[in-house]
Structure 1
Amino acid sequence: MTGAFAFPGQTPIAIAAGQGSLQGLLTLPARLCALVVLTHAGPAPAARDDALAVVLKHAGIGTLTLDLLTPAEERFADLQHNVSLLARRLLDGLALLKQRMLLGELPPLPIGLSAAGDCSPVVLRVAALRDHDIYALVCRGGLIDLAGALYLRSLAAPLLVLVDENDERSTTSNRRALRQLACPHELQTLPAAADSPTSAATFERVARATARWFIDRLPAANPATATVTPAAG
């Protein structure tokens, strides 16, 4: 990870992985009380993550947008479906965040996870493995059962699953998977968009539903103590 953080502001992040490095962007608002990691595997869904980051920023929630594939790996489509590989990399990213918190370079913030599509089962598995560190998560689309039955049953963090109203396969599969959970959970269907499913208006609707889940469920850190001490070099 990089040295000094821009606080408030944005800091590019690089995490060693295999033959390359994972690329991310840490965004810290001036009034910081929590952190949400926005994961993807492959080309960044900039419009979706940007819309969510803006809404979270107004609530005092920082974001780490993290690509779980190196630039060289993004041409291999099969890696986007490798839940075990992507989960290990997200765990590495979380370990570095926690290390920075222990060193005082980041405040001890509650963490949430957000993902869509192929990364949905990844964040669920990681949240189950790091149940003391992850306080809430949101999955949009994807098939959460691919995380594995053991992880579904052991998940403790509150989970929101968002599915498109016309995506019957994801809705049916995810409803079946949710029956295995003991943690608080909710499935919300998103109304079919009159405009494009990738339009700014659609992203804003998803961002507001996602942000509301985190705002309601992430324990608020004390904004007065949520300061960053930049690292040397």
Structure 2
Amino acid sequence: MPSDRRTVQLDAEGASLTGDLAVPAAAQGMVLFAHGSGSSRHSPRNQQVARALETAGFGTLLLDLLTEDEERVDERTREHRFDIPLLAARLTAAADRLGEGEDTAQLPVATFGASTGAAAALITAADRPDRVRAVVSRGGRPDLAGAALSRVRAPTLLLVGEADEQVLGLNRDAAAQLPGEHEVSVVPGATHLFPEAGALDQVVQRSISWLRRWLPGGVGAPGGG
């Protein structure tokens, strides 16, 4: 169980953002979540994944990349949820704040993006190659990362439902632009939000395996066994 779970406020790009931070004892790394369009840190799917990662020994930060005022505007206009440069800048600032935290500064970071949050997760990895050591995308839109895809060196796992055909195609196209280690991992029978029985469990298991492999100390990490 986590040794510490608390709500935090992070200053990022001129905004005060709210997040839920959990740091297990002897954590192997920190996983920084970027939720998808129209969602929040309270997403039951991201919550389920985060709890499983904590049990596996990873710290987590579930962060709302929009302020409460911006979220209210976005509910009406949807003007912020596809503002990828804004979301990415704030996620990158959050990664920097983790590098300054007393209990997180020494921990390697992975970014975990869902839907449009996947683009922000990839841009942060591209902009902070020494900080972000792995990326996981769940039903993501990596294509929205644009030219940043060619700068992503962190090993990247793209999890997509088999029945989410349009997004699967976008992920395969985006994967072809990634220069580093990457994998498109297809969950059989799953649709976009992985509501099918056992689908999200597969997401969790594959995510944990990827993080254990690629974060420092893992078998695929530099110097790993």
**Could you tell me which residue of structure 2 aligns to residue 110 of structure 1?**
108
After TM superposition, where is structure 1 displaced by more than 4 Å over at least 4 residues in a row?
Answer: 17-20
Contact 2:13 2:90 in 1 (8 A): no
CA contact (8 A) 1:20 1:72 kept: no
Say if 1:34 and 1:220, in contact at 8 Å, map to a contact too: no
Percent pairwise identity: 34
| Relative contact order higher in (CA < 8 Å, ≥ 6 apart) | 1
Q: Secondary structure at the match of 1:78?
A: coil
Q: Is the 8 A contact 1:163 1:170 kept in 2?
A: yes
Letter in 2 for 1:122: A
Structure 2 spans left out of the alignment, 5+ residues: 219-225
Q: Match for 1:60 among 57, 65, 76?
A: 57
Deviation at 1:105, TM superposition (A): 4.3
Match of 1:34 in 2: 29
Contact 1:25–1:66 (CA<8 Å) still a contact in 2? yes
The alpha-carbon deviation at position 55 of structure 1 amounts to 2.2
Following the alignment from structure 2 to structure 1, what is the Cα–Cα distance between the partners of residues 184 and 114? 14
TM-score by length of 1: 0.82
Q: Is the 8 A contact 2:163 2:190 kept in 1?
A: no
Deviations 1:140-197 (A, max 9, x none): 1232121112x11111000000111112211112211211121000001111249x94
Aligned residue for 1:81, secondary structure, equals: coil
Partner of residue 158, structure 2:
161
Q: Secondary structure at the match of 1:52?
A: helix
Aligned partners of 2:15 and 2:97: how far apart in 1?
Answer: 17
Structure 2 Cα separation of the partners of residues 131 and 181 of structure 1: 14
Structure 1, unaligned stretches of length 5 or more?
Answer: 1-6, 222-233
AA aligned opposite 1:54: R
Q: Which amino acid aligns with 2:144?
A: L
- Determine if contact 1:155/1:181 at 8 Å carries over to the other structure: yes
Contact 1:59/1:215, CA 8 A, preserved across alignment? no
AA aligned opposite 1:171:
L
CA separation in 2, counterparts of 1:19 and 1:199? Answer: 39
TM-score for both structures, normalised by structure 2: 0.84
- Report the CA distance between 1:72 and its aligned residue: 1.5
Superposed counterparts of 1:16-95, under 5 Å: 16=11, 21-40=16-35, 42-75=39-72, 76=74, 77-95=78-96
Q: C-alpha separation between the residues in 2 aligned to 1:97 and 1:136? A: 15
Q: CA deviation at 1:208?
A: 1.5
Evaluate the alpha carbon distance shift between residue 32 and residue 205 of structure 1 in structure 2; reply closer, same or farther with a 3 A threshold. same
Give 1 or 2 for the bigger CA radius of gyration: 1
Question: How far did residue 59 of structure 1 move?
Answer: 2.4
The answer to whether the Cα contact below 8 Å between 2:156 and 2:181 also exists between their aligned partners in 1 is yes
RMSD value over aligned CA atoms? 2.3
Separation in structure 2 between the aligned mates of residue 132 and residue 19 of structure 1, nearest angstrom: 24
